[in-house]
Chain A
Amino acid sequence: MLLQALGKIAQTLVVLFFVSVASFGLLKLAPGDPIQIMLGSEYSQESYDSLKTELGLDQPFLVQYADWAGRFIQGDWGTSYVARAEIFTYAFKEALPVTLTLASFSLAFAILIGVPLGVLSAVKKDTIFDAGSAVLALTGTAFPSFLLGILLIWFFAVKLQLFPVMGYVSPWENFWLGIYHMILPGLTLSTYFIAMITRLTRATLIEVMEQPYITAARARGEPSWRVVWVHGVRNIAMPLVTILGLQLGVLLQGTVLTETVFNLPGIGQMLTSAVLGREYLVMQAGVMMTAALFIGVNLLVDLSYPFLDPRLRARK
């Protein structure tokens, strides 16, 4: 099992390498000249050339990549000319925690609301409750999150003044205030996931509830709540975790819009301003962090399978 895990980690590193090459290369191909932006509208050819040499942009692609990668691994991610800050500090220490907090909140909302709703829909299959939850779920998947965010701000923050309109407080510094600031953005980002998890939970649980071991559990007198929550839900963990891992990409995409609507200084906002400012290094840092997060989480999902399903554990 350890060997398997090591193999998967090695795979992950290879994938990460290709992602880094691709992100480096693709951004090189993108239109827009960073030197022009740095120099402003009036500059001489000499100052252009000297800056190009200084930044190493006249070197061949592979040299530029190796140079960038070597420094990247050491935590030297360069300087953002727009933010006037070390990118490692700006992106990794400041933006990443914001996005991680937002993503964790959304995931927590999605699981805490989606799973119980899905279980209830499955248990009350073909009732009005089930139909209602199906309509809600469809609405949740179809409703654009930025519009929902604006509506939530308008209703809960402006009209009722229950929640802050926008802004970020780190839950590490002030736990309750941090949570308070994360409720509306967390809900906005998680609507799609709540809906998706509700439907997924319902469908997989209905299938599980038809398994002979469910009938057998009933036959030995297990009360129905135990049959559902202990024998049923335990066996939908694996498909649920798999889909959550794969859908994390969608979640990370969603942070871009949500962070913009709620003015949260996370990776999404950082990427938006980096794209507008054509800051290659910031974009690369953003892409690398997002990719590493996605790949890392899916590695964890892979590694969790033996814990979720005993049949996948190596035989003694």
Chain B
Amino acid sequence: MTERMTDVALPPVLTLRDLTVHRGAAKILDRVNLSLGQGETLALVGESGAGKSTIAVAIMRLLGNAKIDGTIELAGEGDLLALTERQMVKLRGQRLSMIFQDAGAALNPSYTVGRQLSTTLRRIQGLSKDAARERAVELFTSVGINDPEGRMSAFPHQLSGGMQQRVMVAIALAGSPDLLLADEPTSALDVTIQAQIVRLILTLTRERGASCIFVLHDLALASQSCDRIAVLYAGQVVESGPAHDVLEHHRHPYTQQLKSCVLEIGTKTLTAPEGTVPSHAQMPPGCRFSTRCPRALPRCAGEAPPLVPVRSTAAGPLDHHIACWNPE
């Protein structure tokens, strides 16, 4: 991957301020602050249930009846949480779009993939039936679908998982969005195809100058492919910064655990972070990681550490943040 200049202050496309999501009594996101520059790719990393996908779905405003606080600012639109549903419908697919975990389930089984793409094109770009079809074939070609003409009339179940995800990518790019949210787009695919899909999404978004939020499990993959990384634990951002910096000079004990868990797969001794994420009823009021943290101090469980800038090295970048009372 090319090294990107992340210190330059790019105008933020998206800014999340104190984004908090409650579902019933459970606080599934807790004061998340993130910002994303134009053309930047941000990886959200963490265990299942950390709230990575919730952030993506909250930005699309598709969380259903969950209670959302804070602000989600999209350049040119203001706070998305203040928009009406009608206004949101216009943004979806055009300024924001999303790629899902399981493409096979995210495509409607009753319609051909060609129809699902071309109706999107007709609606968003106002194309005629023939023009939409032509454009759909082009898009299928650009996402690497072989025999794009023939695949137009295929139903989702007739395609392989990798092809299904390529179709989803084509649909997501149909409206040339400024921000693409990819929610673990490769978790349902073979390992060999995973890298292809990740590369495809990144190439296409970069070609179009779009920004991208990538939800991932894998810290190593995140650091290879994205500009910046935010590490989430139990609904809180614990560390965020330039990808290389977070991987090599991380300061938060949880990032360390995530990293060692990945690295040790190579030596075939898989050690997951010890213990489990506490249930929402038992979540400590302070740092949520304190129940599993080897470096926990007495104050950690009671007092929530704020997300503050740190310099990982003397010459390190300034936009590296951690939330920890006792960093490494």
Contacts and interface: CB of A to CB of B under 8 A. Distances in A.
Classify chain A: how many residues form its interface, as a range.
Answer: 20 to 34
A159 interface: no
Interface of B: 57, 60, 62, 85, 89-94, 97-98, 100-102, 105-112, 120, 123-124, 155, 157-158, 168, 171-172, 174-175
A209 to B, nearest CB: 10
A217 B108 CA distance: 8
Chain A residues touching B, majority SS = helix
A160 interface: no
Contacts of A215: 57, 62, 100, 106
A281 to B, nearest CB: 47
Contact of B108 (A219, A224, A235, A316): A235
A311 B174 contact: no
B110 A309 contact: yes
Contacts, number: 79
Contact of B89 (A212, A224, A231, A234): A224
A290 B90 CA distance: 53
B123 A219 contact: no
Contact of B106 (A216, A224, A311, A313): A216
A264 B249 CA distance: 87
Q: Which of A219, A224, A316 has the most CB of B within 10 A?
A: A219
A218 interface: yes
Contacts of B94: 221
Interface in A188-229: 211-213, 215-224
Contacts of B85: 224
Given A221-B89, A310-B157, A216 B100 contact: yes
Given A212-B100, A220-B92, A231 B108 contact: yes
A311 B112 CA distance: 11
A221 B93 contact: yes
Given A212-B102, A311-B157, A315-B158, A219 B97 contact: yes
A310 B114 CA distance: 14
A90 to B, nearest CB: 45
